[in-house]
């Protein structure tokens, strides 16, 4: 068997007033925040789904249903750590993560090093094995109008020997 699997993840959340903007565990100063049952960390949710996809696990919505009061306001980092533990339990090591945040505003470039550091710690992999990039939506569609943000992620896992 070829000892690698790749997974992809995607997530989106609406932007609303009166919420903090939390992206990959970093509080980014902005006039709005992402809405959701949990902390709505769209980057960690996309990364979590990419790990699930690679390791053959169910998606985060099924593993941690938002109808369950245990996950209300949940720190998405805790959920990601649990998913990584499940992936390891299935015999997979995380090799790398690549993620893109689509956000018309704000610019996240200055916060990216801290985001990568957070994700690397949660996944217990090296900083250089986590990449995160911001893109605008070129003012196209709902994301371009700043109604919300979306994130895409890819994850490679390798069979533990």
11 binds Zn ion (CB under 5 A): yes
45 binds Zn ion (CB under 5 A): yes
Residue 45 binds which one of ligand CDP, Zn ion, none, with CB within 5 to 8 A depending on kind?
A: Zn ion
In the complex with Zn ion, the residue whose CB is nearer, 53 or 93, is: 53
Shortest gap between Cβ of 33 and ligand CDP (angstroms)?
A: 15
Residue nearest to Zn ion (CB): 45
Shortest gap between Cβ of 109 and ligand CDP (angstroms)?
A: 3
107 binds ligand CDP (CB under 6 A): yes
| Pick from 111, 151, 147: nearest CA to 32 | 147
* Stretch of 27-35, 91-99, 128-136, 151-159 contacting ligand CDP, by CB under 6 A: 128-136
DSSP string, the chain: ---EEEEEEEEEEEEETTS--EETTEE---S-EE-SSS---HHHHHHHHHHHHHHTPPPHHHHS-TTSGGGTT--HHHHHHHHHHHHHHTTEEEEEEEEEEE-SSS--GGGHHHHHHHHHHHHT--GGGEEEEEE--TT-HHHHTTSEEEEEEEEEEEE--
In the complex with Zn ion, the residue whose CB is nearer, 54 or 149, is: 149
**Binding-site ranges for ligand CDP (CB under 6 A):** 103, 107-109, 134-136
**Binding-site ranges for Zn ion (CB under 5 A):** 11, 45
């Amino acid at each position: 068997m070829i000892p690698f699997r790749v997974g992809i993840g995607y997530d989106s959340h609406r932007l609303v007033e009166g919420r903090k903007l939390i992206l990959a565990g970093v509080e980014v100063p902005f006039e709005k925040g992402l809405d959701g049952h949990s902390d709505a960390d769209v980057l960690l949710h996309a990364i979590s789904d990419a790990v699930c996809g690679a390791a053959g696990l169910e998606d985060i919505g099924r593993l941690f249903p938002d109808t369950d009061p245990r996950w209300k306001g949940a720190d998405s980092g805790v959920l990601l750590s649990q998913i990584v533990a499940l992936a390891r339990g299935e015999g997979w090591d995380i090799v790398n993560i690549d993620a893109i945040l689509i956000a018309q505003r704000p610019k996240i470039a200055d916060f990216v090093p801290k985001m990568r550091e957070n994700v690397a710690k949660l996944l217990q992999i090296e900083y250089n094995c986590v990449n995160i990039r911001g893109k605008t939506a070129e003012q196209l569609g709902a994301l371009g109008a700043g109604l919300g943000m979306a994130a895409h992620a890819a994850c490679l896992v390798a069979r533990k020997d």
